């Protein structure tokens, strides 16, 4: 059996949704043949997983519709599902599914599904035979406005990439860099004005009091964007330039190294669909602290795996966690068991059956 995947981007794309799409297609390909039609420009040059086929992208809406129509009409494939990888593409997917009597599988990720959308998108969602969400929070928000049987909406969280894992020897390799002997609070995220919900401001504003108790504490921010200058100004106004470091965008290897060296990953966000970076940090053995108002609670497993703040106690929670010893290898193993690719594949194939 085959699945036609209508995606914003797939192999060759960037960002969390693109990575989820690739993980999803690789998992589905263990049992089904997956045909990917991406919207974004395909920069992928490597080998695709077995049973995965990606075709030429068309960014133009009309050309993309014609291309998708070609696949369901002229190729005469017996598709088990038309899979739609983003809420905003749901009308196209729903029309094709209705026209040719295919089952529609829709994926939702985060804030795009939290507010009541247009009537056309609502109609498209309600035609879906199956909807998968990356978190319980996103599922709950979708069900507030969608007139659909809750049993048709399942949760499949993000999964880990293999490079995010605990390495005993790595801690000795990185011990001589500029942060040697320091306690590090770490945040990895885009610094976009539209994503101020990540909570950098809250962490920065808590630092003066924390530094009085932890003089060797440093706050390291990985990521870039149009909100960086505003955050740097806040740091300067609080006289924290020696304690806050903006490292820009780093490659995965450098991020993994800092996960191993840091004392605590902290991102008190209110807008995470899931928050895969929490899982990535914990898979490297780094304790994580997030908020209780979005999909972060799924990544943190309601406080079982990671740690949760109600925002009013952020400073207190950071202090507690900086003083609490952690078995990093145990944390990494627990994280892999819950969010490893094998577990992800089981969930995908179980829902598809």
What pLDDT shows up at residue 175? 47
Range of lowest pLDDT (61-75, 147-161, 193-207) = 61-75
pLDDT in tens, 331-345: 999 999 999 999 999
pTM, 2 dp: 0.92
What pLDDT shows up at residue 71? 84
Handedness of CA 331, 335, 340, 346 (dihedral sign): positive
Range of lowest pLDDT (37-46, 123-132, 240-249, 276-285) = 37-46
Location of structure tokens 């399942």 = 154
What pLDDT shows up at residue 13? 81
**d(C-alpha 98, C-alpha 82), whole Å:** 10
User: Can you give the residue ranges of every domain in the chain?
Assistant: 2-156, 170-338
Structure tokens at 214: 């932890």
Alpha-helix residue ranges (DSSP H) falling in the chain: 16-28, 61-73, 90-100, 119-126, 136-145, 170-173, 200-213, 228-237, 252-261, 276-283, 296-299, 314-322, 328-339, 341-352
Quick one: average pLDDT of 42-67?
Answer: 85
Quick one: average pLDDT of 93-113?
Answer: 94
CATH number of 170-338: 3.40.50.2000
Q: Is the pLDDT of residue 33 over 50?
A: yes
What pLDDT shows up at residue 231? 98
Q: Residue 176: which pLDDT band, with cuts at 50, 70 and 90?
A: very low
Is it true that 2-156 and 170-338 share their CATH fold?
yes
CATH number of 2-156: 3.40.50.2000
pLDDT in tens, 114-157: 999 999 999 999 999 999 999 999 999 999 999 999 999 999 99
Q: What is the DSSP string of 224-255?
A: --TTHHHHHHHHHHTT-TTTEEEEES--HHHH
């Amino acid at each position: 059996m085959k699945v036609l995947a209508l995606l914003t981007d797939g192999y060759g794309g960037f960002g969390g949704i693109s990575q989820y799409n690739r993980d999803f297609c690789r998992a589905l390909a263990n049992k089904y043949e997956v045909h990917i039609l991406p919207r974004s420009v395909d920069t992928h040059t490597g080998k695709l997983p077995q049973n995965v086929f990606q075709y030429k992208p068309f960014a133009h809406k009309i050309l993309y519709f014609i291309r998708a129509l070609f696949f369901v009409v002229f190729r005469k494939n017996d598709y088990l599902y038309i899979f739609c990888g983003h809420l905003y593409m749901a009308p196209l997917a729903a029309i094709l599914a209705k026209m040719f009597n295919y089952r529609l599988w829709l994926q939702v990720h985060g804030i795009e599904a939290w507010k009541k959308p247009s009537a056309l998108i609502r109609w498209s969602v309600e035609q879906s035979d199956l909807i998968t969400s990356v978190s319980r929070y996103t599922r709950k928000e979708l069900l507030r406005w969608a007139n659909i049987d809750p049993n048709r909406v399942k949760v499949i969280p993000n999964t880990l990439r293999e490079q995010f894992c605990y390495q005993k020897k790595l801690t000795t390799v990185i011990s001589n860099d500029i942060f040697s002997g320091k306690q590090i609070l770490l945040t990895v995220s885009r610094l976009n004005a539209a994503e101020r919900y990540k909570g950098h401001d809250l962490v920065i504003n808590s630092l003066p009091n924390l530094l009085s108790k932890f003089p060797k504490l440093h706050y390291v921010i990985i990521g870039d964007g149009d909100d960086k200058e505003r955050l740097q100004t806040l740091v300067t106004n609080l006289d924290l330039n020696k304690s806050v470091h903006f490292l820009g965008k780093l490659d995965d290897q450098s991020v993994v190294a800092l996960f191993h060296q840091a004392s605590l990953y902290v991102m008190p966000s209110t807008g995470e669909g899931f928050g895969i970076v929490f899982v990535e940090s914990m898979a490297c053995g780094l304790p994580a602290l997030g908020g209780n108002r979005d999909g972060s609670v799924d990544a943190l497993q309601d406080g079982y795996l990671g740690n949760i703040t109600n925002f009013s106690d952020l400073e207190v929670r950071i202090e507690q966690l900086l003083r609490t010893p952690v078995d990093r290898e145990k944390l990494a193993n627990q994280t892999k068991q819950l969010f490893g690719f094998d577990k992800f594949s089981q969930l995908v194939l179980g829902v598809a059956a």
